[in-house]
Structure 1
Amino acid sequence: MAPDGNAVIFSTNSTHAANPQLMREPGYDPIRDFAPVTLIGLAPLALFVRSDFPAQTLSEFLEYAKAEQRQMNFGTGNTGSLVAAHLLMRRGGFQAEQISYRGTPEAITDLLAGRLQFVVTDMGPTRGHVQAGTLRPIAVTSRTRSVALPDVPTMQESGLPDFDFASWNAIHARAGSPPEIIGTLNRAFVEAILSPEGTAFFRNLGINTAPGTPEQLGEFNASELQRWGEFVALAQIPKT
């Protein structure tokens, strides 16, 4: 069946930047096999601990993590969480045991239960726990602060220069979809994302909205694919 633009995918940094760098045979090409429609936005991650964790700031967390004979562990439920945590360990100069989960909610459950010391993840699965006071964000991973956690400093502000990492969401169609259809889709999605309802919806998920043109998404996607290769190499994560 020829591509007609009627099928779109809610794409992420996992599907279009991380997996091709983490998997030997992902089964698709994130650039060649898709037609970019629009970026939705960037989703900063944050370092989360339980509310009773002894460290309040990133410097205190790193001091605690680097204490002699300290046994630390953390949970990961997706590729963004995985790479961000490894980057934190490399840049922060400490080691911790990785515990893999099928999804982030399971990791959050064990963090709340005290079976994990920290999780680096996005705001979506943690928002209710932060509001309830059971989880505490220490620092966000992006260059700029999160719209969902405006009072939480960035890693850079907290003493880790050049730490700039964020998940992202976008819309792609099948490669070869008619340009006029891609244009129509772009205008419709951008209008919805920037509407008051759309802005509020994505803010609640911790996403800093940044829609644009298909060409801008194409350039961004190619850049992110390269950056994720650098992230994976820096974090020393082997391909599976």
Structure 2
Amino acid sequence: MTVDNKAGGNGFIGATAVLQAPPDGHTIFIAGSSPMAQNTVLFKSMPYDPLKDFRWIAGIFEGMAVVVVPANSPHKNLGDLVAAAKQQPKKLNYGSYAAAYRLSTEWLNQAAGIQTTLVNYKGAPQVTTDLIGGQIDFAMIDAVAVAQLIQGGQLRALAVTGDVRHPLMPNTPTLKEAGLPSYGRSAWVSMAVRADTPPAIAQKLTATMMKILADPATRKFSDEQGAFLLPYDDRQMAAFHLSELEKYKTIATAAHIQAE
């Protein structure tokens, strides 16, 4: 297998590259929640249609995000952050660099009944730099990306997304444990191919992936990376995708986010 990293462009570059390749099953899109779900409510025009242009192969894993504040922040826990935001609506600001984290943070705002202000960044390093320096109040960011900064005392973790605690930060509660029972998954990664890929080829890829995901070695690797497997076959992934599209449409509408 050859990995061709075509990052950037809100996932447009990678998705387009797959659609330009022959539909023979040899080019597979590692499709995350940003290009396949969140982008649909943030962009009026996209060079691909997640529903019409792709065929699901399988889920891979569920990522976890963490709500972080500067190490010297007065907010010691999620309750403190929520209380401060309720006391002064829109005063607290959050940094975000991707569709997934912007919408995940807006979901947090809605679940907690608060209003905070978005500060856009080009990438995670810029968010963490300004967060450490106190230029922004909080951020929701990939848990693995900032685990060392949390462990080193440069950032403070308030809560993680998902249904269970993150293995790299076992003392940090989930958002559900911290008082937001309606908050669930926020990011995921899956596999898809062109929609016109022959069914026999796609089905063979799905069967192969299901065997890989059921392998104890895969579970061990996933646990070591601080990720959680998403062992969905093609049909389960398709149904899950539809539910995610509806979820983020609801979040965007409530947050008054206009597609650009």
* TM-score, normalised by the number of residues in structure 1: 0.89
Question: Could you tell me which residue of structure 1 aligns to residue 94 of structure 2?
Answer: 74
Aligned match for 1:208, one of 211, 228, 236:
228
Question: Could you tell me which residue of structure 2 aligns to residue 188 of structure 1?
Answer: 208
Partner Cα separation in structure 1 for residue 251 and residue 225 of structure 2: 24
Q: 1:64 to 1:22 in 2, by over 3 A?
A: same
Partner Cα separation in structure 2 for residue 190 and residue 133 of structure 1: 39
Contact 1:77 1:107 in 2 (8 A): yes
Q: Which runs of 4+ in 1 moved over 6 A?
A: none
Contact 2:29 2:191 in 1 (8 A): yes
**Percent identity of equivalent pairs:** 27
RMSD: 2.3
Question: Could you tell me which residue of structure 1 aligns to residue 32 of structure 2?
Answer: 12
Structure 1 segments unaligned to the other structure (5+ residues)? none
Contact 1:105 1:125 in 2 (8 A): no
Partner Cα separation in structure 2 for residue 143 and residue 237 of structure 1: 27
Partner Cα separation in structure 2 for residue 170 and residue 69 of structure 1: 37
Structure 2 segments unaligned to the other structure (5+ residues)? 1-20
Q: Secondary structure at the match of 1:215?
A: helix
Question: Could you tell me which residue of structure 2 aligns to residue 162 of structure 1?
Answer: 182
Q: How many residues align?
A: 240
Letter in 2 for 1:118: F
Q: 1:112 to 1:163 in 2, by over 3 A?
A: same
1:74-127 deviations in whole A, cap 9, x for unaligned? 110111110122222333343333110112221111111221111012213212
Letter in 1 for 2:178: S
Question: Could you tell me which residue of structure 2 aligns to residue 238 of structure 1?
Answer: 258
Shift in Å, 1:72: 2.1
Contact 1:3 1:174 in 2 (8 A): yes
Partner Cα separation in structure 1 for residue 51 and residue 150 of structure 2: 37
By relative contact order (CA 8 Å, sep 6+), the higher-ranking structure is: 1
1:7-54 deviations in whole A, cap 9, x for unaligned? 111101111111112211122211111110110122232211122222
Letter in 2 for 1:163: Y
32-41 vs 135-144, which deviates more?
135-144
Partner Cα separation in structure 1 for residue 231 and residue 135 of structure 2: 39
* TM-score, normalised by the number of residues in structure 2: 0.82
Shift in Å, 1:193: 4.3
Q: 1:236 to 1:205 in 2, by over 3 A?
A: farther
Which runs of structure 2 are paired with 1:114-193 in the superposition (5 Å)?
114-193=134-213
Which runs of structure 2 are paired with 1:51-66 in the superposition (5 Å)?
51-66=71-86
Contact 1:48 1:138 in 2 (8 A): yes
2:244 is the alignment partner of 1:221? no
Letter in 1 for 2:124: T
Letter in 2 for 1:49: V
Q: 1:68 to 1:100 in 2, by over 3 A?
A: closer
